[in-house]
Amino acid sequence: MKISKIKEEFTQMSVEQLTEKLEHLRRELFSLRLNASTAHIKDYSQFKKIRRNIARVLTIKGQKES
């Protein structure tokens, strides 16, 4: 997905939905780290993509809460 579509998707979510998305992304990052330590991963760029999406969610969530 393009970044603008991702940002638009996140801005349309409510705070509760953003919290759920944040939990999902953190679980996904954890499982990716676990798989990296136990097996070979083909696409290491997933780490960066997930971390950036977590940061995007946190930023938008902070803006909506204030």
Domains of the chain: 3-65 (1.10.287)
Q: What is the DSSP letter of 44?
A: T
Q: Is 56 exposed, middle or buried (0-12, 13-18, 19+ CB in 10 A)?
A: buried
pLDDT at residue 6 in the model: 87
Give the integer Cα–Cα distance in Å for 59 and 57: 5
Predicted TM-score of the model (pTM): 0.89
Give CA separation, 3 vs 8, 15, 23, 56, in Å: 9, 20, 20, 10
Q: What is the pLDDT of residues 7-51, one digit of tens each?
A: 889 999 999 999 999 999 999 999 999 999 998 888 899 999 999
Overall average pLDDT of the 46-59 stretch? 96
